[in-house]
Amino acid sequence: MLIHHIESGPVETIGYLVADEASREVLIIDVPMQSRERMKRWISDHAFTAVGIILTHGHFDHVGDVAALARDLSVPVHIHPLDAPMLEQPASLFPDLARLVEGMRADALLEAGEVLECGRLRLRIIHAPGHTPGHVVLYEMREGVLFSGDVLFHSSVGRTDLPGGDYETLMQSITKKLFTLPEDTVVYPGHGESTTIGFERAHNPYVLEYLDHY
């Protein structure tokens, strides 16, 4: 498994290229604004073939270049049905910034428990709402990695003050779903540095405060 990250856009959003070196296939997780050309160049330089784009959620900073990249690579775009409207109409939530984002209709709608394949890699879809209603995270059990989008960060959690966000739902997603994964699971978030499930379970101040009160 080869993981390459590209940080881009106005809020330093991270998109991931997840490749199986044996098959030379790559899945793309989130496509931040101004990331399209760098993603295409990395794929070309490594002689990989893109097989799909998975969006963790529909916020403008994670879908910024997805329509153009999908056309360039001729690959399907996957998103959870509850966040599909944001992908189709980015300006509905962020009228100022999202006017710079091209909307599109997803090619496929994700379901909880679904497994997407990339060569020998198997990425399981976990529905983890709270930041947005249709937020998903992706877990590769054999490699022990989790792509957490904007649900869980290093020593932090996703914001819940935007439309569709809900604090209790987010905390339930983290404590009841993500924290059931093995402690050594490496977490690759949509912003900032990577972490592990074990570290966040023991040290994340937001989660510890929630567990202390609830």
How confident is the model over 81-121, as pLDDT tens digits?
Answer: 999 999 999 877 777 765 788 999 999 999 999 999 999 99
How many angstroms separate the CA atoms of 169 and 127, rounded? 11
Sorted by sequence, the CB contacts under 8 Å of residue 199 that are 6+ apart come out as: 154
How many angstroms separate the CA atoms of 177 and 84, rounded? 22
How confident is the model over 192-207, as pLDDT tens digits?
Answer: 999 999 999 999 999 9
- Rounded to an integer, the average pLDDT of 116-130 is 98
In this predicted structure, the answer to whether residue 150 has a pLDDT above a threshold of 80 is yes
Domains of the chain listed by start with CATH number: 2-213 (3.60.15.10)
195 touches 153 (CB < 8 A) = yes
Say if pTM beats, i.e. exceeds, 0.85.
yes
Among residues 168, 79, 180, the alpha carbon closest in space to that of 139 is found at 180
How confident is the model over 7-39, as pLDDT tens digits?
Answer: 999 999 999 999 999 999 999 999 999 999 999
